[in-house]
Structure 1
Amino acid sequence: MNVEHRDIEVNGIRLHVAEQGSGPLVLLLHGFPETWYSWRHQFDPLVGAGYRVVAPDQRGYARSDRPEDVAAYTLPHLVGDVVGLIAALGEKEAVLVGHDWGAPVAWATAMMRPDLVRGVAGLSVPPFPPAMMPTPSANRHMYGEGFYQVYFQEPGRADAELAADIASFMRRILVGASGDNPETDEPRLWMVPEGGTLLDALPPADELPSWLTEEDVAAFARDHAAHGARAFTGGLDWYRNTERNQELMAPFQGRGIDVPALYMVGDMDLVTVMRGIPELREVLPLIAPRLHADVTLPGCGHWTQQERPDEVNAALLDFLAHVEAEGGSE
């Protein structure tokens, strides 16, 4: 993997990007609590197929800037970063691939700016209709105070707990939300026990699964560790804007995804057992009329492109060929 690194100024902040190759642009958008490195297995196959591949550390993460204001992490801000990044890279359009929180950013960009998006792929998180993503108040009602997205709302609490031992947290969350969690053979939500922390809901991860190495854990930890006790504050602030996103996305109600689309998820992904997700998947063709495929990966957990890189790469290459044949957003 011959990846180059640099910083790019976008919308008044600095984004670190990893890039490789030439050809049509493919932007890879990571989720929580990851970095560009979560796409390490996608670079060579996509570049080999003739694409320019760029994976940023998104706003608030790792080597990119981290605005202090919680309100600087709304979905329109994040979409704006993608729009600005496409322009800063000297391109007019891109195929977007997002995982976890990166998926809502990719879906929303495709919905709001289809002129810039040739195609969109979401891993783990399907496209919610505008202003219908679950909010902390709704999650509190459905799951209680222990639900991880509710637990994340209190400023400073999760920030300090997760940053206390970054390498240990990364090990536990990567193993605990994977299809190789040694404590369960079915997907389950992250529920923080009363008086506990998120780490109490995750296995110790003494042994790593075959898809994850000590070097991988160290790479994630190293990029986060530079920010000390605020290592994860930027990423957590994305969660702290979900109520605000409902208001900001309200003008787009009724809009769908007009460009070619792909959805992939593991059947061991915790997202699959969130309320409303099975019903949402049933109506994906209505939300994204140009849906190319809805792919389920048996035995795969939440870290889709890391756990099953061969299957993900094959599906992405098939989708990219479809986008070329379809003519993208035209």
Structure 2
Amino acid sequence: MKEIRIDLPTVTLRSLTWAPVGGAPDDAPLAVLLHGFPDTALTWRHLGPALAAEGWRVVAPFTRGYAPSGISSDGAGHIAALMDDAVGIHRALGGGPDAALVGHDWGAITANALAAHPDSPFSRVVALAVPPFVSLRSAAMLQALPRQLRNSWYIAFNRLPVLPERTLDRVVPRLWRTWSPGYEASADLPAVLAAIADPAHRRAVVGYYRALTSPFRPPPRYRAWRGAEMQLPRMPILYLHGAQDGCLDPRLAALAAAHLPPGSETGLIDGAGHFLQLEQPDEVNRRVLEFLGSPEGTQDGKPAAPSL
């Protein structure tokens, strides 16, 4: 594992990388791994090496606002800005049409939105813990709604002025305890708190939630991506959800499955909560590797399904 710097037009991202085993790093297909809240690129310490061992060139950025990455010059925390960053990483690293995108939590929101956008450069997408929003529009959602509203208190809290930034030291450990019951997060929490140690980074990270209800559109450079998060994916995706997730009700996975494109796969991961890639890494790695297939574009010896 190495750390690299990627300079994008509005933000500098520090990223962890894993080089493909037995291949030329610059020529191998690219896999971009996006973390969520409250987390860091270290969340991919199991999946990153597993993908590299199969021949992928893996990069996992600390997304905008999470140190050691910088604060964006435009202050945007919109989903469209996160999409633009992912596409910027693809462009900066010379990603090809065979590139894969894997996201968890906010990273999954970004990945789902890019899977729905016709200009996305990624051909294979995996989302963990957050399904495409529009896939949940059904009467069955009403059954999960009361519990989900209780679980989602932090979203409204993070939109408040000032208070979230002042209390993240207490809120973040609480979220990890309730979202992934029984998981020992001692290897994760220090890194998360270090990534949001100063007021500017805290404000940027909480800004993701404030942008959700902002009356202002994203800055002009991001507007081509705007609204994709409310569309269904245009390509098959893999969606995985922890069976004991204390953040998003596990019943949402079944609701999402009925609305995803043909060729998509979904699964509940037993023994895992919200941070399933850390709690059950062997099973998550297996499912992701099977879905993505080899970097050369094959699955089980057959050509992978083309993107739409």
TM-score under structure 2 normalisation? 0.79
Tell me how far apart the structure 2 counterparts of residues 253 and 303 of structure 1 sit (CA, whole Å). Answer: 22
Residue 27 of structure 1 deviates from its aligned partner by 0.7
- 1:5-34, CA deviations, whole angstroms, 9 ceiling, x for partnerless residues? 121111321111111113211111000011
- 1:69-106, CA deviations, whole angstroms, 9 ceiling, x for partnerless residues? 65x11111111111111000111342111101110101
- 1:190-214, CA deviations, whole angstroms, 9 ceiling, x for partnerless residues? xxxxxxxxxxxxxxxxxxx45x4x4
SS of equivalent residue, structure 2 residue 293 = helix
Is residue 2:86 matched to residue 1:49?
no
SS of equivalent residue, structure 2 residue 43 = helix
Is residue 2:271 matched to residue 1:299?
yes
Is residue 2:178 matched to residue 1:176?
yes
- 1:199-240, CA deviations, whole angstroms, 9 ceiling, x for partnerless residues? xxxxxxxxxx45x4x444333333332xx2344222211111
Tell me how far apart the structure 1 counterparts of residues 262 and 128 of structure 2 sit (CA, whole Å). Answer: 18
Tell me how far apart the structure 2 counterparts of residues 76 and 130 of structure 1 sit (CA, whole Å). Answer: 19
Is residue 2:48 matched to residue 1:78?
no
Q: Find the counterpart in structure 2 of residue 59 from structure 1.
A: 64
Alignment match of 2:33 (pick from 28, 31, 36): 28
Q: Find the counterpart in structure 2 of residue 264 from structure 1.
A: 240
Q: Find the counterpart in structure 2 of residue 15 from structure 1.
A: 13
Q: Find the counterpart in structure 2 of residue 87 from structure 1.
A: 91
Q: CA 1:115 to 1:215, structure 2 compared with 1: closer, same or farther past 3 Å? A: closer
User: Given residue 306 of structure 1, which amino acid in structure 2 is its aligned partner?
Assistant: L
**Superposition pairs for residues 112-261 of structure 1, below 5 Å?**
112-113=117-118, 115-129=120-134, 143=149, 147-162=153-168, 166=169, 170-180=172-182, 209-210=183-184, 212=185, 214-225=186-197, 228-244=198-214, 255-261=231-237
Residue 272 of structure 1 deviates from its aligned partner by 3.8
SS of equivalent residue, structure 1 residue 16 = strand
Preserved CA contact (<8 Å) 2:179 2:245: yes
Preserved CA contact (<8 Å) 1:131 1:253: no
Q: CA 1:245 to 1:312, structure 2 compared with 1: closer, same or farther past 3 Å? A: farther
Tell me how far apart the structure 1 counterparts of residues 149 and 234 of structure 2 sit (CA, whole Å). Answer: 33
Q: CA 1:159 to 1:115, structure 2 compared with 1: closer, same or farther past 3 Å? A: closer
SS of equivalent residue, structure 1 residue 5 = strand
SS of equivalent residue, structure 2 residue 213 = helix
Preserved CA contact (<8 Å) 1:26 1:95: yes
Matched residue pairs, number?
A: 280
- 1:13-62, CA deviations, whole angstroms, 9 ceiling, x for partnerless residues? 11111111132111110000111111111121111111111100111112
Q: CA 1:285 to 1:320, structure 2 compared with 1: closer, same or farther past 3 Å? A: same
Preserved CA contact (<8 Å) 2:243 2:272: yes
Q: CA 1:253 to 1:68, structure 2 compared with 1: closer, same or farther past 3 Å? A: closer
Tell me how far apart the structure 2 counterparts of residues 130 and 74 of structure 1 sit (CA, whole Å). Answer: 20
SS of equivalent residue, structure 1 residue 258 = coil
User: Given residue 237 of structure 2, which amino acid in structure 1 is its aligned partner?
Assistant: A
Residue 280 of structure 1 deviates from its aligned partner by 7.0
Preserved CA contact (<8 Å) 2:6 2:92: yes
Preserved CA contact (<8 Å) 1:97 1:106: yes
Instruction: Name which of structure 1's ranges 241-250 and 312-321 shifts more when overlaid on structure 2.
Output: 241-250
Tell me how far apart the structure 1 counterparts of residues 80 and 234 of structure 2 sit (CA, whole Å). Answer: 18
Q: Find the counterpart in structure 2 of residue 195 from structure 1.
A: none
Preserved CA contact (<8 Å) 1:177 1:302: yes
Residue 115 of structure 1 deviates from its aligned partner by 4.7
Q: Find the counterpart in structure 2 of residue 326 from structure 1.
A: 304
Identity score, percent: 30
Tell me how far apart the structure 1 counterparts of residues 2 and 229 of structure 2 sit (CA, whole Å). Answer: 39
Segments of structure 1 that go 5 or more residues without pairing to the other structure are 133-138, 181-208
SS of equivalent residue, structure 1 residue 129 = helix
Residue 114 of structure 1 deviates from its aligned partner by 5.4
Is residue 2:260 matched to residue 1:287?
yes
SS of equivalent residue, structure 1 residue 90 = coil
Q: CA 1:278 to 1:171, structure 2 compared with 1: closer, same or farther past 3 Å? A: closer
Q: Find the counterpart in structure 2 of residue 312 from structure 1.
A: 284
SS of equivalent residue, structure 1 residue 270 = coil
Q: CA 1:245 to 1:261, structure 2 compared with 1: closer, same or farther past 3 Å? A: farther
Tell me how far apart the structure 2 counterparts of residues 89 and 130 of structure 1 sit (CA, whole Å). Answer: 32
SS of equivalent residue, structure 1 residue 64 = coil
